[in-house]
Structure 1
């Protein structure tokens, strides 16, 4: 099988998928300014009120009937455009069955960032280390309260590195090529990766470098998995 041939032996069983058009992703706009409002108290309270209401499976009208507040006022509260009084928060807490302090949880939540200078980062041992693959960890969020662990690495392959296309681990992995040229295997499909190319895949299938075309090879690898899969 020619690794440069997009119509390889396994192309029918493992077709290469291209990204759908941007209109197919109706979710978050990465350029929106909404993130700048995350620490505004009114927005934080509104999100918690909506979250608790949704958990109970009730509508805004149901909550209005239970609290005596108008639909318009509840809409303003949930959208973070008004600051509810303590009396209003007490009324909402009784109706939703949560303490008043629960509405401030998101506002008080710590937001952290990990800064790594160029060339730094923690060198760690992973399965491929014995094959000469250098893993430099750029950050880790396992200590946070979220349910997903994200591990970003810069992986370097040199003349001393072995080809090893049999990595398998839980979660998803994203690769972005920075330097060099490699034939990368995922399951029964081969991908010719050069700088600027990327690959996103289910990491539970066998994967890894199958042929190193141009050394040194460096790529960004971002692995994510559920905490209960650790």
Structure 2
């Protein structure tokens, strides 16, 4: 996995340099410190999916280019077979599979997300835009600002993803959900 993180980081660094975007401009745009951004770009720290999405927007490329090094080719449709989505490691307790990596000019990023039961401290994140989550398996506690919402299989939520949020799998079992980031 570390090799894959380094490959993504190298693509980001190369595109940023080609486009003449400074490290300070990129870290400012992402609202992360310069040192943290450099850890991302040097492959020393995994890049959260939400940050990767914002990096792709700043660089003017599809997120899948950063993930795979390949340009999306599909204009009319794309099919992702069960379990074959492009994997995105976000945090140790979250596993993402991109469901439309090969579609060009997407208006949203759909993922299947698996949240493993977590014994460590819950870490919140935020990113520009909106997010829709539909629970496929298990139970999930979604924390948005000071609110805790328990979602079970078949439940869904739509929220402003610029608000600090986090997900916790409940009952000692993984939770799996469809996430669409817009």
Please classify the TM superposition score into its range, dividing by the shorter chain length.
0.5 to 0.7
CA-to-aligned-CA distance 1:26-70 (integer Å, 9 cap, x gap) = xxxxxxxxxxxxxxxxxxxxxxxxxxxxxxxxxxxxxxxxxxxxx
1:122 to 61, 86, 89: 86
TM-score by length of 1: 0.42
Q: Quote the RMSD (CA, aligned, Å).
A: 2.4
- Hey, what's the Cα distance between the residues in 2 that align with 1:206 and 1:137? 22
Measured in 1, the distance between the counterparts of 2:172 and 2:136 equals 12
Match of 1:133 among 78, 91, 94: 94
Which one is further off, 166-175 or 129-138? 129-138
2: distance between equivalents of 1:216 and 1:152?
19
Selected match of 1:183 from 120, 129, 141? 141
Q: Which runs of 5+ in 1 are unaligned?
A: 1-109, 225-230
In the alignment, structure 2 segments of 5+ residues that lack a partner are 1-73
Name the residue aligned to 2:47. none
Contact residue 155 and residue 221 of structure 1 kept, 8 A: yes
Q: TM-score, normalised by structure 2?
A: 0.53
- Pairing 1:7-156 to 2, within 5 Å after superposition: 111-125=75-89, 129-140=90-101, 143-144=104-105, 149-156=107-114
1:217-228 equivalence runs, <5 A: 217-224=175-182
Q: What is the DSSP-based 3-state SS (H/G/I as helix, E as strand, rest coil) of the residue aligned with 2:108?
A: strand
Q: Distance in 2 between matches of 1:139 and 1:161?
A: 31
Instruction: Give distance in 2, aligned partners of 1:152 and 1:176.
Output: 11
Larger Rg: 1
Secondary structure at the counterpart of residue 149 of structure 1: coil
* Aligned residues of 1:182 and 1:214 also touching (Cα < 8 A): no
